[in-house]
């Protein structure tokens, strides 16, 4: 089958700088200790020549070895203790360098400076604990990455987690489409230059020429896959007429391109090589683990790579009619991996056999590990209520299923420096918050009333976010002396409802239909309460932003909301109180109204409790640092096991 060729290598127009290191299989497998040392010297020398690296600070530096993991090297020959880390099958999965003393440093392959990385100690049979630094070549594959593209939380995560991992010494690439819509947003891609490297992707009955653009920023290689199908008005997924009909094609291209990128792109002079760790995000990237198993490993490529499917939202699985399987560039015998049969009740007519392909299912049965964005959600997806039909499959892989709560970009979301808000404030001086509230009321044309409780909602207007509950409860809620602002876009019925409600409650309600990041910051800062009645919420970011801005979340106790918002208890800790918001459950209009009314009552009548609530939320550690450490643990587990599909 044509698609089995790793055609990208052959058709890459840019001559690779590292011609002495063939991009073939088994580089890492043949690596013996002596070979490795020599090879590393060669690499480091050429790295120094290419990039004029200097490291005068002592300690050491690292190179990215051709096979993947970075090796921290002491610059004194006699100080070097290097050991290979092997898995059960004897494959090299990492390298240990144990410096004799002093700090170890990691220099990224772009030579843009040294990153001092926390040392990770490993127990070695009860004796002294030498430091072990194992870093990885990580390839994020995602349909969106902020600030280049963002329609929701996926963009936020894939725009900030890679930076956090790069700062910890990993070599990180993010592969995402180069969306151009002919408007102002195209400027976001202005810093990405054409790599002049093109590959051929064999799929959908033909051959597609795909290019790569590249920008190195914040320690990360941002790689944008270029193809005419990404150049059109609308969001990454659709336009005013709905979802694009060719999304399966567009994201198939993304996955094929992402699998080739580490092999063909000499970023900063070096390819990432075969020993990568792919983080495939949601169904759009779900073909990556399948391609590794079906297209590459049978031909000896990516034998030592690992893949993790990161599920941000199980409700979207990339399901299309079974006949489309032949378009995906996969060998026919792998059909079973994607095979999906709808239950009888879900079929549309008597002749509907219910046969389909499900890309996310393919990822779940081929990825080495599965991650979700909170512990709560990692359990929910194994249940009939939260599994969207995949619960049994996910349960069968429970042993490799973990949840890690998302972090947030604490620089972008910082009330003491946020460029989008009218006044700055911090936990030590909250006075600016009321200015933000007044500013928001003015901007939206609401009466300027600093004492009136202002409730906000930000998010997609759809079933997941529980907008129907807000719609059902608002007429009653607006009987009280409150103001309510909503920012969102999505289902037309809700957008229309927002417009009508605004005209009915001119002094109390404002609905901003659309996607507007600066306004989302101003609502987060200006409101007193943020409402999130999500039916399910894998993690949720808005409640994290809200807490950081001293805005109290009132949320349905589900998934990541339950894991991140601690219910307010004024009597805990000998009357000093604890909690950062309110969680209600089960999800009913009455429960939501009751929780809101308790929150409003506390705001009106217990000012000091309210301030304590605000401060506890603002103090909460939400940076990516914690999450990045947990991700590293999962990476480690991924490399301990042999590839799930070899
Ligand atoms: N109209 C608008 N204008 C401006 N900004 C808007 C907006 N509507 C939404 N946003 C922003 O988009 C992001 C949405 O974050 P969510 O966590 O709600 O993610 P979402 O449901 O998209 O993603 C999924 O992935 C994320 C990441 O893993 C999970 O947190 C989440 O639970 C899961 O459903 C936030 O930054 C929010 O401020």
Confidence of residue 133 (pLDDT cuts 50, 70, 90): low
**Ligand 1 atom 11, closest CA:** 152
How far does Cα 262 stand from its chain's mean position?
19
CA dihedral 105, 109, 111, 114 (to 10 degrees): -20
What is the pLDDT, as a whole number, of residue 294?
98
Whole-number Å distance, alpha carbon 542 to ligand 1 midpoint, is: 7
312 ligand 1 Cβ < 6 A? yes
Evaluate if residue 59 carries a pLDDT over 90: no
Provide the 3-class DSSP secondary structure of residue 623: strand
CA neighbor of 541 nearest in space, from 512, 520, 513: 520
> What tokens appear for 157 in the block?
């995560």
**Low-confidence winner among 99-108, 339-348, 352-361, 539-548 (lowest mean pLDDT):** 99-108
CA of 32 to the centre of ligand 1 (A): 47
CA distance 72 to 501: 60
More confident of the two residues 69 and 630: 630
CA distance 383 to 208: 40
Q: Would you say 565 and 543 are in contact if contact means Cβ atoms under 8 Å apart? A: yes
pLDDT tens by residue, 202-212: 999 999 999 99
Q: Which residue would you say has higher pLDDT here, 123 or 444?
A: 444
Digit-coded pLDDT (tens) for 582-617: 999 999 999 999 999 999 999 999 999 999 999 999
Q: Which residue has the tokens 């929780």?
A: 595
> Which stretches of 523-564 are assigned E, i.e. beta strand?
529-532, 552-556
Preceding peptide of 147 cis, ω within 30°: yes
Instruction: Pick the more confident residue, 352 or 586.
Output: 586
- pLDDT recorded at residue 91: 47
Query: Which among 230, 276, 225, 232 has a CA at the least distance from the CA of 255?
Result: 225
Concatenating the DSSP letter of every residue in 318-355 gives -EEEGGGGGGSS--GGGHHHHEEE--GGG-SSTT---E
**CA-CA-CA-CA torsion sign (36, 40, 46, 51):** positive
Nearest CA to ligand 1 atom 31: 540
Please name the residue whose Cα sits nearest to atom 16 of ligand 1. Answer: 153
What are the two backbone dihedrals, phi and then psi, of residue 231, each rounded to the nearest 5 degrees? Answer: -110, 90
Give whole-number Cα distances, 163 to 145, 166, 168, 345, in Å: 11, 5, 9, 45
352 pLDDT band, cuts 50/70/90, is: confident
In this structure, what token pair is assigned to residue 384?
């009939």
Q: What SS3 state is found at 115?
A: strand
Distances from the Cα of 447 to the Cα of 434, 483, 508, angstroms? 14, 9, 8
Per-residue pLDDT at 344:
84
- Measuring CA to CA, which residue among 550, 615, 541, 552 is closest to residue 583? 552
CB-based burial label for 348 (10 Å; 0-12, 13-18, 19+): exposed
User: For the chain, what is the largest distance between any 2 Cα atoms, rounded to a whole number of angstroms?
Assistant: 78
Q: Among residues of the chain, what percentage have pLDDT more than 70?
A: 79
Spatial distance between the Cα atoms of 93 and 91, rounded to a whole number of angstroms: 6
Per the CB < 8 A criterion, the answer to whether 213 and 175 are in contact is no
Cβ neighbours for 89, distance < 8 A, ≥ 6 positions apart: 642
Distance 64 CA to ligand 1 centre (A): 34
Using the mean position of ligand 1's atoms as its centre, give its distance from the Cα of residue 458 in Å: 8
In what helix (H) or strand (E) does residue 614 lie, and over which residues does it extend? helix 607-619
Q: How far is the CA of 404 from the centre of ligand 1 (A)?
A: 17
Ligand 1: does its nearest atom lie under 6 Å from the Cβ of 516? Answer: yes
Q: Which residue has the tokens 């004029």?
A: 52
Q: Is 572 helix (H, G, I), strand (E, B) or coil?
A: helix
Residue 314: is it exposed, middle or buried by C-beta count within 10 angstroms (0-12/13-18/19+)?
Answer: buried
Q: Closest residue (by CA) to atom 22 of ligand 1?
A: 152
Point out the ligand 1 atom lying closest to the alpha carbon of residue 377. 32
Report residue 229 as tokens: 């199908």
Task: Report which ligand 1 atom has the smallest distance to the Cα of 512.
Answer: 1
Q: Is 408 touching ligand 1 by the criterion CB < 6 Å?
A: no
The CB of 152 under 6 Å from ligand 1? The reply is yes
Pocket residue to mutate for ligand 1, from 459, 521, 533, most atoms within 8 A of Cβ: 459
Report which protein residue has its CA nearest ligand 1's atom 30: 540
In this structure, are residues 500 and 415 in contact, taking their beta carbons and an 8 Å threshold? no
Contact 320, 291 (CB under 8 A): no
**Which amino acid residue places its CA nearest to atom 12 of ligand 1?**
152
**Cβ(540) – ligand 1 distance below 6 Å:** yes
* DSSP letter, residue 524: H
- Ligand 1 atom closest to residue 373's alpha carbon, by position in its atom list: 28
∠ CA 562-536-160, nearest 5°, is 75
Q: How far is the CA of 138 from the centre of ligand 1 (A)?
A: 24
Over residues 514-525, the pLDDT tens digits come to: 999 999 999 999
Say yes or no: CB of residue 488 within 6 Å of ligand 1: yes
CA of 325 to the centre of ligand 1 (A): 31
pLDDT number for residue 446: 98
Cα(209) to centroid(ligand 1), Å: 33
Q: What gap in Å lies between CA 542 and CA 553, rounded to an integer?
A: 9
Using the predicted structure, report yes or no on whether residue 30 has a pLDDT greater than 60. no
| C-alpha span between 641 and 304 (Å, rounded) | 11
Q: Model-level pTM?
A: 0.82
Query: Ligand 1 centre from 558 Cα, in Å?
Result: 16
Q: Decide whether any atom of ligand 1 lies within 6 Å of the 541 Cβ.
A: yes
Nearest CA to ligand 1 atom 18: 540
Q: pLDDT grade, residue 405 (50/70/90)? A: very high
User: Is 550 touching ligand 1 by the criterion CB < 6 Å?
Assistant: no
Q: Is 157's C-beta closer than 6 angstroms to any atom of ligand 1? A: yes
**Cβ-count burial of 573 within 10 angstroms (0-12 exposed, 13-18 middle, 19+ buried)?**
exposed
What is the ipTM score, two decimals? 0.99
Task: Transcribe 201-245 into DSSP letters.
Answer: EEETTEEEEEEEEEEEETTEEEEEEE-GGGBSSS-SSEETTEE-T
Residue 617 and residue 552 in contact, taking contact as beta carbons nearer than 8 Å: yes
- Residue 371 Cβ inside 6 Å of ligand 1? The answer reads no
pLDDT for residue 347: 86
Q: Which pLDDT belongs to residue 21?
A: 30
Residue 199 bridge partners (DSSP)? 210
Give me the pLDDT at residue 134, please.
81
Give the strand pairing for 114-116 and 206-217: unpaired
- Ligand 1 atom 19: the closest Cα is on which residue? 153
Residue found by looking up tokens 């989008």 in the block: 420
What's the whole-number average pLDDT of the chain?
84
Summarize the confidence of residues 4-12 as an average pLDDT: 30
For every residue of 125-155, DSSP letters joined together read TTS---EE-EE-EEEEE-S--TTTS-SSHHH
How many whole angstroms from 73 Cα to the centroid of ligand 1? 41
Please name the residue whose Cα sits nearest to atom 27 of ligand 1.
153
223: tokens are: 């790689």
- Radius of gyration of the chain, Cα coordinates, nearest whole angstrom: 26
Helix (H, G, I), strand (E, B) or coil at 466: coil
- pLDDT score at 92: 43
Q: Is 149 in the pocket of ligand 1 (CB under 6 A)?
A: no
539 Cα–ligand 1 center, Å: 9
CA of 470 to the centre of ligand 1 (A): 18
pLDDT at residue 469 tops 60: yes
471's CB contacts (< 8 A; 6+ apart) are 494, 497
For a substitution probing ligand 1, which of 149, 150, 152, 559 has the most ligand atoms within 8 Å of its CB? Answer: 152
Tell which wins on pLDDT, 318 or 8.
Answer: 318
Outline where 570-606 has alpha helix (H). Answer: 572-575, 589-605
């Amino acid at each position: 089958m044509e698609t089995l060729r790793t055609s990208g290598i052959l058709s890459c127009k840019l001559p690779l700088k590292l011609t002495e290191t063939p991009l073939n299989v088994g580089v890492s497998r043949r690596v013996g200790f002596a070979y490795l040392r020599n090879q590393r010297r060669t690499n480091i020398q050429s790295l120094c020549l290419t990039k004029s690296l200097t490291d005068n600070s002592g300690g050491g530096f690292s190179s990215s070895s051709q096979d993947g993991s970075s090796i921290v090297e002491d610059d004194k020959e006699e100080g070097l203790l290097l050991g290979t880390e092997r898995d059960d099958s004897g494959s090299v999965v990492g390298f240990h360098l144990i410096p004799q003393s002093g700090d170890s440093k990691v220099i990224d392959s772009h030579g843009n400076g040294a990153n001092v990385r926390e040392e990770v100690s490993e127990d070695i049979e009860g004796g002294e604990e030498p430091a072990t630094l194992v870093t990885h070549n990580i390839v994020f594959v995602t349909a969106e990455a902020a600030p280049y593209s963002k329609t929701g939380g996926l963009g936020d995560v894939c725009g900030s987690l890679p930076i956090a991992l790069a700062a910890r010494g990993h070599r990180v690439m993010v592969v995402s489409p180069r969306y151009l819509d002919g408007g102002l947003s195209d400027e976001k891609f202005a810093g990405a230059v054409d790599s002049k490297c093109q590959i051929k992707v064999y799929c959908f009955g033909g051959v597609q020429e795909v290019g790569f653009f590249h920008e190195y920023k914040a320690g990360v290689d941002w790689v944008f896959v270029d193809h005419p199908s990404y150049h059109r008005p609308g969001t990454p997924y659709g336009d005013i007429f709905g979802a694009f009909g060719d999304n399966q094609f567009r994201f198939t291209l993304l996955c094929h391109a992402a699998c080739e990128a580490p092999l063909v792109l000499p970023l900063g002079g070096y390819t990432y090589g075969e020993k990568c760790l792919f983080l495939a995000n949601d169904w759009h990237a779900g073909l990556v683990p399948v391609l590794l198993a079906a297209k590459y490993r049978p031909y000896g490529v990516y034998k030592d790579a690992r893949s993790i499917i990161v599920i941000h939202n199980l409700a979207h699985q990339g399901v299309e009619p079974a006949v489309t399987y032949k378009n995906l560039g996969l060998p026919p015998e792998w059909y079973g991996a994607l095979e999906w049969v709808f239950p009888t009740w879900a079929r549309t007519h008597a002749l509907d056999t219910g046969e389909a392909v499900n890309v996310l299912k393919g990822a779940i049965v081929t990825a080495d590990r599965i991650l979700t964005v909170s512990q709560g959600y990692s359990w929910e997806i194994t249940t009939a209520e939260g599994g969207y039909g995949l619960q049994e499959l996910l349960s069968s892989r429970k042993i490799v299923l973990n949840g890690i709560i998302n972090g947030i970009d604490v620089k972008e979301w910082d009330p003491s420096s946020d460029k989008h808000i009218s006044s700055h404030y911090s936990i030590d001086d909250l006075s600016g918050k009321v200015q933000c509230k007044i500013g928001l009321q003015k901007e939206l044309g609401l009466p300027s009333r600093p004492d009136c409780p202002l409730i906000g909602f930000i998010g997609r207007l759809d079933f997941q976010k529980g907008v129907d509950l807000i719609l059902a409860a608002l007429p009653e809620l607006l009987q009280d002396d409150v103001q309510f602002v909503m920012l969102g876009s999505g289902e037309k019925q809700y957008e229309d409802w927002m417009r009508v409600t605004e005209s009915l409650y001119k002094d109390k309600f404002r609905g901003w239909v659309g996607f507007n990041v600066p306004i989302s910051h101003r609502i987060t800062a200006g409101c007193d309460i943020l409402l999130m009645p999500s039916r399910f919420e894998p993690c949720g970011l808005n409640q994290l932003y809200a807490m950081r801005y001293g805005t109290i979340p009132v949320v349905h106790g589900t998934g990541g909301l339950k894991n991140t918002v601690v219910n307010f208890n004024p009597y805990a800790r000998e009357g000093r109180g604890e909690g950062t918001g309110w969680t209600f459950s089960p999800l009913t209009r009455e429960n939501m109204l009751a929780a809101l009314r308790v929150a409003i009552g506390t705001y009106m009548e217990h000012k000091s409790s309210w301030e304590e609530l605000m401060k506890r939320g603002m103090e909460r550690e939400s940076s990516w640092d914690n999450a990045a450490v947990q991700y590293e643990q999962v990476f480690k587990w991924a490399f301990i096991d042999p590839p799930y599909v070899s």
